[in-house]
Structure 1
């Protein structure tokens, strides 16, 4: 009969395919168990930055239990026992034998600050991965009441985290990640997206005057190249002051080579002949879909960077910032499309003119003297 396993037990002595940070954590803990006074040399490190829960609990216990006198610690293991007693309630898998293992595997206790820096770097990579995965997940969550605002808020949180990392890790040359990232999809060509684009094109054809206020929408925002080219036809006609209707759009499309690909002119006329609603509404829908698709792409790219342990913290910072910059232009156009139109500037008021009346009565000095 197999023996039941303790769900709280950590297999600390046999971790197959452990990452280098595991050995950095062991070496740091071994150095601190040998020389507790080195806690003052490792900088700002906390238990939550350890990848192994038991290691973090042991480190927290070291932070909590007052350090012993150096001379006493060499001859009396009382401090080790106190630390173990403080850590065991949070990590029952810890044992006295494992503390001795940590001491034995530490190469050089004086390298404790370097081991701590390795632990902080790996924690930064894991935290960046969490932020990036959350950005990609939010960008594709169809249940959110305001997906664009929620997605941009997560992008802000990711950007703030990168700013924090930039202050913790010194820059160095050659900082671009060399990770191969998956190519971005051509676009979300679901039927709902195509329907919104068709309604936008037809409604813009019926109300071309509103196109001049929709410069925030670009051809790259469309999921179908045909729709992007028809949008260019519409904006070109409107910009040049030409009449806009299904026939003029067809004529402009001919000049752009759309009909050379075998497109039936009747299909193109039908595409721009069923208006519903307003162009601004459908334009915002198209732009929001493009914004979310770009945010998903950014989250996927940063996830690829963070999953590659070959990237240094500064490579992660530089690559992630460049990825986020690709979202900035779309974000600016989205904010321009959704912000209310500012009221026209107020004309300066002319100075008040007093009503006509009798001139003020002047009293001469001689007249006052005669009174």
Structure 2
């Protein structure tokens, strides 16, 4: 078994900081995996599911990149000298200057069992999946809140599609297991933006729909929950109910319907409701589409934040992340369908991956071929 290369001068304080272990357990898992590969380079073929970008630090990524690109050494020669380890260190230092021979010695020492490399790699792959999911969810939230985008809906939907594709990829790498949804609590509500514009536009929607009731039926894609205020949602329910029953619609009949539904119990003055419904402007379809757009973006932001919370919880397995993320993404898909109906947009055809075989092994379990297949459900 080879020993580590000869010690070099100690690195400076900044270099040591680059190698300091972060609090995440995966750092130690990565050390064990790299130590196994330094001891037994032939085990690289047992860990096909990971790459340099799977590692949490630049130093570890550089080491894995060097190990995976350099020709493997002759086993007998590797057991006698450190020539190959010297090549690994020299190559890796091109990307991570902080790496030293003593650190490679540390990696070799902390590896409990080199034959457990596939298990270590599976853990690294799982943590990488968590980080990828968190980044994709964060990109979705950032896109929703990007004030520089004049038409934010399609960019947000594109980010949602990218997030869904990533979830599919994670699902293909990790077979289903018996389990439950993530128990991660929902994140607290985001700080609400200034709703002045939304409230004014919803008032115009309600007043214009009251003045032009024939247009209400054509916008069945707008739901009460798309509106920001409970009173506005209730008044929209009143309007759609009166339209379905083909009853007269004007401010007075809507006010009476609101009373029958208990909307005025919250203290809203009848005179204020009548005033709100008596100031139409523009078209019903325009204001309804504006309301639906806000609802879609709000749903996308909530979905991104919820999936981000799942990914931040280390107690969630990759399969739990998949199940939770897909449930959250279903909310976007539902409102996307209504948006496409409202705007006449053609839904993109996203190719779904083949179904994961329920008994299929993870991508990093090649070395376990001689063992009985583990039950996955």
Residue 82 to residue 280, structure 1, CA distance change in 2 (3 Å): same
Q: Which residue of 2 aligns with 1:238?
A: 243
165-174 or 244-253, larger mean C-alpha shift: 244-253
- CA displacement 1:106-150 (0-9 Å, x = unmatched): 000000111111111111000100011111121222321211111
- CA displacement 1:169-217 (0-9 Å, x = unmatched): 0110114111112254697661111011001001111111010101000
CA contact (8 A) 2:204 2:280 kept: yes
Are positions 1:72 and 2:77 aligned together?
yes
Distance 1:291 1:65 in 2: 50
Q: Which residue of 2 aligns with 1:229?
A: 234
- CA displacement 1:310-351 (0-9 Å, x = unmatched): 11111111111111112222111111111179xxxxxxxxxx
Distance 1:336 1:153 in 2: 18
Alignment of 1:146-165 (within 5 A): 146-165=151-170
- TM-score, scaled to structure 2: 0.85
Distance 2:69 2:106 in 1: 22
Alignment of 1:100-115 (within 5 A): 100-115=105-120
Q: Which residue of 1 aligns with 2:369?
A: none
Distance 2:222 2:58 in 1: 49
Alignment of 1:13-32 (within 5 A): 14-15=20-21, 18-32=23-37
Distance 2:338 2:192 in 1: 19
Alignment of 1:72-151 (within 5 A): 72-151=77-156
259-268 or 58-67, larger mean C-alpha shift: 259-268
Distance 2:193 2:338 in 1: 20
Across the two proteins, how many residue pairs are aligned to each other?
Answer: 336
Please provide the CA RMSD for this pair: 1.9
Structure 1: 5+ residue stretches without partners = 342-371
User: Over alpha carbons, which structure has the higher Rg?
Assistant: 1
- CA displacement 1:277-321 (0-9 Å, x = unmatched): 000000000111111111111111111110111111111111111
Distance 2:114 2:90 in 1: 23
Distance 1:340 1:158 in 2: 21
Alignment of 1:1-371 (within 5 A): 9-11=15-17, 14-15=20-21, 18-184=23-189, 190-339=195-344
Residue 63 to residue 340, structure 1, CA distance change in 2 (3 Å): closer
CA contact (8 A) 2:34 2:107 kept: yes
Distance 1:186 1:228 in 2: 21
Secondary structure of the corresponding residue to residue 173 of structure 2: coil
Structure possessing the higher relative contact order (Cα contacts under 8 Å, 6 or more residues apart)? 2
Distance 1:286 1:333 in 2: 12
Secondary structure of the corresponding residue to residue 311 of structure 1: coil
Secondary structure of the corresponding residue to residue 216 of structure 1: coil
Distance 1:37 1:262 in 2: 75
132-141 or 316-325, larger mean C-alpha shift: 132-141
Residue 247 to residue 107, structure 1, CA distance change in 2 (3 Å): same
Structure 2: 5+ residue stretches without partners = 1-10, 347-377
